[in-house]
Amino acid sequence: MTLQATTWQTVGPFFSIGLCRLYRDNLAGPGVAGERVEINGRILDGDGKPVPDGVIEIWQANSQGKYAHPEDVQDKPLEKEFTGFGRIATDIDGYFRFSTIKPGRVPGPVGPNGKANLQAPHLVISILTRGLLRRLVTRMYFPDDPSNAEDFVLSLVEESRRSTLIAKKVEGRAGSLEWDVVLQGANETVFFEL
Amino acid sequence: MAAIKAYRRYAPGTQPPYLHPPYVSSAKRAPSRPPIYLPHTLSEITGPVLGAEFCDLKASDLTRQHSGEPLGERIIVSGRVMDEDGCPLRDTLIEIWQANSAGRYLHNNDQHNAPLDPNFTGCGHTLTDSEGRYRFVTIRPGQYPWTNSHNAWRAAHIHLSVFGPAFATRLVTQMFFPGDPLIPFDPIFNCTADEAARNRLISKLDWDTTIPLEALGYRFDIVLSGRESTPIETPSHSHKAQT
């Protein structure tokens, strides 16, 4: 190693000028296979106030559990129309909404038997806002998925905080999920250090 | 599945803390608990591949997006994107945004009493070439006041967003200009403890890319996290977070 990674700086309040071109609130067009989900949520600050100047970036596998990336060498099909990338800004009341498909399970760390344990279906998320000097990294998991119980990353999180990483079903609306991001305080979302 | 080759963690002190009281907006937005250490998995060592189909080749010249030319000092901002071993990162997307020469953003929430420039939007993007190089033509952004504290002013800066090869390498930063007298007073610039790391956010005047009688060149190299040299050992399932 001869160099050091460049220092982060905040996106500031005016990021939409540069980032809006790649806003993608529908990650999966009509031809993409998989169970459709719509995710609604809010970013809230330490006072419970909405964050109206936030942006969320999403990275996910397709419904087969395959990432559209050269280092995913699993023998599983890719879908040309599915990049797995999303980017959504919050509105004036801190709300965000996006549609996608539930990803399949991707390999996690190699277990003692020499085989990779599969991770539970999840979205990998970056949160960027004014006031955050660098991004926050989190994950969103799906409710009522039996594989959550054996997920390696969820197991790193104390049980009382795990629910902050799992979206909630909206009663009476199939495929509709709710997931809030709380930046600070009692119900603070779990964030990860990469 | 082969073992995962993780990306390196940031060196201590070289990245901003989440809470930095001189930057007032961090007070209510910084998490109160330390982040949980996450061993990299396939999800983190992959990331969006945003290639040429996401790119408009003309978007790297911010001075030619309108019928007339923007006001201000025309400049060339260029450099290389590489990893910590100095290996170039090719075909990676860089997005930039900035204020105009009067220090005003084309944004509804910017209330600074300075004129907008009908010939300047202040956004651009490009892909690095096969040697990791990028180049933008733009105008030097103005300094501007903000409400962080009494009589607070931001040093002139350009925002940059870079993807790199993986989710783990994502970077959003700001580039500053050499000799700007506001730099020592800018709480965002000064949020990082390591002085050398901080100072690498200041671009360098560059004669090699300066075009005589046309535009000064500023060089700004971008380094993204490098790769660990050995694959991750099998983490035990009971390995608890370093909180």
CATH number reported for the structural domain that contains residue B126 in this entry: 2.60.130.10
Residues 70-109 of A with CB under 8 A from B: 70-74, 83-85, 106-109
- Judge whether B35 is closer than 8 Å to chain A, CB to CB: yes
Give residue B80's domain range.
Answer: 50-224
Say what the pLDDT of residue A37 is. Answer: 98
Q: In whole angstroms, what is the distance from residue B29 CA to residue B109 CA?
A: 19
- Judge whether B91 is closer than 8 Å to chain A, CB to CB: no
- Judge whether B233 is closer than 8 Å to chain A, CB to CB: no
Give me the interface pTM, i.e. the ipTM: 0.97
Give exposure, A118-129, as e/b (b: 16+ Cβ within 10 Å): bbbbbbbbbbbb
Q: What are phi and psi of A93, to 5 degrees?
A: -100, 15
| Residue B192 falls inside a structural domain | yes
pLDDT of B239 > 70? The answer is no
| Residue segments in chain A with a per-residue pLDDT below the cut of 70 | none
Q: In what order do the strands lie in the sheet with A192-193?
A: A85-89, A54-59, A122-129, A136-141, A192-193, B36-37
In this structure, are residues B4 and B43 in contact, taking their beta carbons and an 8 Å threshold? no
Say what the pLDDT of residue B240 is. Answer: 41
Residues 150-189 of B with CB under 8 A from A: 157, 159, 161, 166-168, 170-174, 188-189
**Catalytic: B237?**
no
Cross-chain CB nearest to A46 (options B11, B28, B83): B28
- Judge whether A23 is closer than 8 Å to chain B, CB to CB: no
CB atoms within 10 A of CB B8: 17
Statement: A16-175 belongs to CATH 2.60.130.10? yes
Spatial CA neighbour of B29 closest among B18, B21, B38, B40: B18
**Catalytic: B154?**
yes
**Catalytic: B80?**
no
- Judge whether B237 is closer than 8 Å to chain A, CB to CB: yes
CA–centroid distance for B195 within its chain: 17
- Judge whether A122 is closer than 8 Å to chain B, CB to CB: yes
- Judge whether B118 is closer than 8 Å to chain A, CB to CB: no
pLDDT of B233 > 70? The answer is no
What domain count does chain B have?
A: 1
Report the predicted TM-score, pTM, of the whole model to 2 decimal places: 0.95
Residues of chain A neighbouring B38 (CB-CB closer than 8 A): 137, 153, 156, 192-194
pLDDT category at B232 given cuts 50, 70, 90 is low
DSSP conformation class of B42: H
Task: Please state, in angstroms and as integers, the Cα–Cα distance from residue B174 to each residue in A55, B4, B23, B51, B98, following that order.
Answer: 17, 31, 15, 23, 10
Say what the pLDDT of residue B243 is. Answer: 37
What average pLDDT does range B48-53 have in this prediction? 94
Say what the pLDDT of residue B229 is. Answer: 83
Q: In whole angstroms, what is the distance from residue B142 CA to residue B104 CA?
A: 7
Residues belonging to chain A: 194
Q: Is the dihedral angle over the CA atoms B156, B16, B123, B125 positive or is it negative?
A: positive
Hey, of A17, A105, A129, A161, which one would you mutate to test binding to chain B, going by the most B CBs within 10 A of its CB?
A17
Say what the pLDDT of residue B2 is. Answer: 57
**Catalytic: B112?**
no
Q: In whole angstroms, what is the distance from residue A18 CA to residue A166 CA?
A: 31
What residues does B97 pair with on adjacent strands?
B123, B159
Q: Which residue in the list B144, B198, B218, B227 is annotated as catalytic?
A: B144
| Residue B184 falls inside a structural domain | yes
pLDDT of B236 > 50? The answer is no
Mean per-residue pLDDT of chain B: 94
| Residue B169 falls inside a structural domain | yes
Q: Please judge whether A72 and B46 are an interchain contact, meaning their C-beta atoms are less than 8 angstroms apart.
A: yes
Chain B: residue whose CA lies nearest to A49:
B28
